[in-house]
Amino acid sequence: MPHTLRYPPGSPLRARLVARGLALALALPLCASLWGCAGAAPPAPVQGPATPEAAPHASTCPAELAHLARCLAGRDSAGAYYLIALPQQWNGHLVLHAHGGPALGAPKMERSVEDLERWAIMVRAGYAWAGSTFRQGGVEVRAAAEDTERLRQIFVRHVAQPQRTILHGQSWGASVASKGAEMFQTTADGKRPYDAVLLTSGVLAGGTRSYDFRTDLRVVYQYLCNNHPRPNEAQYPLNIGLPADAAMTQADLAARVNECLALNKPAAERTPEQQRKVKTIVDVIRIPASSIQGHMNWATFHFRDVVQHRTGGASPFGNRGVQYRGSPDDAALNAAVLRYRADPAAVARFAQDTDLTGRIPVPVLTVKGVDDPTAFVELDAAFRATMAQGGSADRLVQTFTQHNTHSYLSDPTYPTLMTALLRWVDKGDKPTPEGIARQCAGMEALFGKGCAFLPGYAPAALNTRVADRERP
């Protein structure tokens, strides 16, 4: 998702928040054998890197942090770039960040710079921050979790030993952070690498379920528009995203989508036919019109990445058994829409990499805007069920806010969650949604308005939002 600064550089509000941000101070049952219950081997202890990691070098911080922190940068032995920010008035805690996306293509340092700019609130609140680009683009969760853990080891070896390390996952990175917390549970000397996990706007139902609606989007879009692919072009199963050798770009796809739906125009300037098709997609897939293009990109280019590079050329995505509802003529839609069966071997491979077990041994705190257009709030209901199945229900607290954004909620939201999470770790004071909502009001004095917690909210099951389907 594109990032824009919440407060323009040089504005009085930004200057006040930056100046005051650093003043923030922290005022503040499993089975007898978990792994025997699950029938799986326990995670291996975290080992030191096989290749010695070079020390990071001094780097220029983003402009808004230049006078508050020093920055370090480097490239790890696997090829991932990373960026570290250490506040001048460090509170001793590290936020280890797993970014969203994921981007496709080779890693670029610019990604970590963008992430630090977006999450500058953490540094302003006194936390050290470290983020990796990951060694590669594309949908590979375990590798990204390994890259994140490698960065933690670099920080400990070459920068400092933090008092507490909070693993923070945003969007798709919430899946990475959750997987990392499952994979890396003890270090070689018997300590925990992560003290707690913060998951924000997370994609948390695992790859085999989180992306079902994008398969539905592709087939409903094709039913309505029939231009991706066009009738005179080579046909291919839509659940592979795009053929491996296809030369289509995101600009090409946007042109086709606008040709059919005119998403680049205000609703009032669309033809009645275009607006009817947009409304059908909105009503059937249950996404806002503003996010159709983004999800079409995912269902095209990221699906191709999964199929070609992660699941051996077969698709883990299917829509057999789905009953689509909400169109002007559901019977006609269900009779004509293309149907695909997910390949069982592809599903197994994708699940092994992206699905979660819920076996997380440390406190986990989540936040999600109830109108998140990218990661549905119902995904959090699936995550709660996963944590319960993994024996970790008591280590999960979920919070929800009255926001309709995905990439960033508000400045006071995140320091509030960090404070509550650290109090849970240090004092055993498990937070409640009601308490977090109250605490956020105090953060507004430091970080500006933006608290919108809904302490009484509970999401519905995922299948109330995305239809059930046949699964291998």
| Cis preceding linkage at 102, omega within 30 | yes
Q: Enumerate the domain spans of the chain.
A: 12-206+356-464, 209-351
The answer to whether the CB of 398 falls within 8 A of the CB of 455 is no
12-206+356-464 has CATH 3.40.50.1820 classification? yes
Residue type, 127: Y
Tell me which of 9-23, 235-249, 408-422 is least confident: 9-23
Cα atoms found within 13 Å of the Cα of residue 79, Cβ hemisphere only: 8
**pLDDT value at 37 more than 50:** no
Tell me the C-alpha distance between 411 and 414, whole Å. Answer: 6
Q: How confident is the model at residue 188 (pLDDT cuts 50, 70, 90)?
A: confident
Q: pLDDT by residue (tens digit) across 270-282?
A: 999 999 999 999 9
d(CA 216, CA 339): 9
Contact predicate 366/202, CB 8 Å:
yes
pLDDT in tens, 59-108: 999 999 999 999 999 999 999 999 999 999 999 999 999 999 999 999 99
Please report where in the chains the tokens 């979920």 appear, as a residue: 398
* Residues making up the chain, counted from first to last: 472
Angle between helix 172-183 and 141-158 (nearest 10): 70
48 pLDDT more than 80: no
Strands (E), 386-430: 396-401
* DSSP conformation class of 453: B
Is residue 25 pLDDT above 90, yes or no? Answer: no
Say if pTM beats, i.e. exceeds, 0.75: yes
Q: What angle do CA 124, 125, 128 make, to 5 degrees?
A: 80
